[in-house]
Amino acid sequence: MLLVCDIGNSNIVFGIYDGSELLSSWRLTSRLNATVDEYLVMAGTLLDRQDGHGRISDAIISSVVPPLLPKLRSVILQLTGAEPLVVGPGTKTGLDIQYEDPRQVGADRIVNAVAAIERHGPPLIAVDFGTATTFDVVLAPNVYLGGIIIPGITISLDSLVSRTAKLPKVELSHVERIVGRNTSESIRSGMLNGTGALVDELVDRICEEQQIEPTVLATGGFAELVRDYSRRIQFVEPDLTLHGLRLIWERNK
């Protein structure tokens, strides 16, 4: 079995694959100050719950948080005995990366592009609602063109609350109308309708610039919620990054 691990700025997501089937997945909060021993306890407990001990023979990691990479690499090696493959320069992805400096592209964005191609085919735009919201543009044949990076929904909400005197912290949930009738509803409408409109407008501009009509898919924690406020998002793929890690491992084994 294969253990996949995506280290993000907010969460560390694990998955266990048996062939092409995702058996289970779980997440931990990303904590820069956590020790290897602390991560061993947290990850080991969750791995026990998934009945993963003793059955994992291989592992792969992608990371956008350099200080956490050696810690999780050590954790996986100690828990499974498998030396994980780390996605980075030299890893076979099957992509023609057109970034001016390919080393600057986050590993998660490359992994998402690989998975999106396999599931939908180019041209496509993958939107990831993570700590940052990213747009990744893939053209035929498997050309990773580049993308867009903007502050994520949580960052935007936190900034709004911390930089204003009276606006409250709210939990995002669906709104039935655009014009809010109270402060909470107004903030939720702004975040959800605003994010949906932003996605639609940026996709429209990409299409105009590149002369394409792409498949648009979304992933990340807010993808399902934002989908209802966007006319452009066609598919939501909650396990896109895990799927991409499995594909990259297969191309490098």
Ramachandran class of 243: left when φ > 0, alpha when ψ lies in -120 to 50, beta otherwise: alpha
CATH of the domain at 12: 3.30.420.40
Q: Which pLDDT does position 209 carry in this prediction?
A: 98
Known catalytic membership, residue 108 = yes
Q: Which pLDDT does position 108 carry in this prediction?
A: 96
Q: Which pLDDT does position 145 carry in this prediction?
A: 98
In contact, 108 and 132? CB cutoff 8 Å: no
CA distance readout (Å), 1 to 169, 203, 249 = 42, 38, 12
Mean pLDDT by 10 residues, the chain (253 residues): 96 95 94 95 85 81 97 95 95 96 95 98 97 97 97 96 95 96 97 98 99 98 97 98 98 94
Strands 235-236, 132-139: pairing kind? unpaired
Work out the end-to-end distance of the chain between its first and last CA atoms, rounded to an integer number of angstroms. Answer: 13
Q: Which pLDDT does position 53 carry in this prediction?
A: 61
Looking at the structure, do residues 120 and 223 belong to the same domain, yes or no? Answer: yes
Q: Which pLDDT does position 179 carry in this prediction?
A: 98
Q: Please give the model's pTM, rounded to 2 decimal places.
A: 0.94
Looking at the structure, do residues 42 and 120 belong to the same domain, yes or no? Answer: no
- In this structure, the number of other CB atoms found within 10 A of the CB of residue 111 comes to 26
Q: Which pLDDT does position 52 carry in this prediction?
A: 58
CA distance readout (Å), 136 to 40, 109, 111 = 33, 7, 11
Catalytic-role residue among 58, 96, 101, 108: 108
The position carrying tokens 């092409």 is: 20
Looking at the structure, do residues 109 and 199 belong to the same domain, yes or no? Answer: yes
Q: Which pLDDT does position 55 carry in this prediction?
A: 84
Task: Count the domains in the chain.
Answer: 2
Looking at the structure, do residues 127 and 65 belong to the same domain, yes or no? Answer: no
Looking at the structure, do residues 12 and 81 belong to the same domain, yes or no? Answer: yes
Q: Domain ends where: 52, 86, 120?
A: 86
Residue 177, amino acid: R
Q: Which pLDDT does position 31 carry in this prediction?
A: 96
Q: Residue 62 domain-assigned?
A: yes
Q: Residue 109 domain-assigned?
A: yes
Q: HEC profile for the chain?
A: CEEEEEECCCEEEEEEEECCEEEEEEEEECCCCCCHHHHHHHHHHHHHHCCCCCCCCEEEEEECCHHHHHHHHHHHHHHHCCCCEECCCCCCCCCEECCCCHHHCCHHHHHHHHHHHHHHCCCEEEEEECCEEEEEEEECCCEEEEEEEEECHHHHHHHHHHCCCCCCCCCCCCCCCCCCCCHHHHHHHHHHHHHHHHHHHHHHHHHHHHCCCCEEEEEECCHHHHHCCCCCCCEECCCHHHHHHHHHHHHHC
Domain of 156? 96-244
